[in-house]
Structure 1
């Protein structure tokens, strides 16, 4: 896994994601977050843009329509979350 939270253990990674979401909600700023973790992208984002390997081009732009706040448990329990993960995984395999 590569991304802003990759060097953290699972517990600290979860805490940092929650802290990030809290700050982001309070600030209302636009954030571009780069990660290789699909679950993280769905959990933290309002849209996921997939890039090709080489050359690096956007090959898909998928709006994430899961209401906020998105609890971390959503990645295991929310049917819509699982649908997005399946859709994005499929897109990665075909691009």
Structure 2
């Protein structure tokens, strides 16, 4: 939500629906694995239904053009905020 939306009192009740889903093998991993990843990268989360952290752009199912552009810029690994944030978004 933007500052402008907050100032106008706009409240969003329903999340934006997408067809994106993490790879099945990540969904099937135990929650203890997700907690280890979060601990390793000092990622703090709070709430219900928190998506699993995903440690690579390829596993995030980014389009090939994105992957190519990131590689061209020398970006090969997501940052901790991206590991948790991109799957959340």
Q: Taking structure 1 as the reference length, what is the TM-score of the superposition?
A: 0.25
Question: Computing the radius of gyration over CA atoms, which structure comes out larger, 1 or 2?
Answer: 2
Query: Higher relative CO (CA 8 A, sep ≥ 6), structure 1 or 2?
Result: 2
Greater helix share, structure number? 1
Q: Taking structure 2 as the reference length, what is the TM-score of the superposition?
A: 0.26
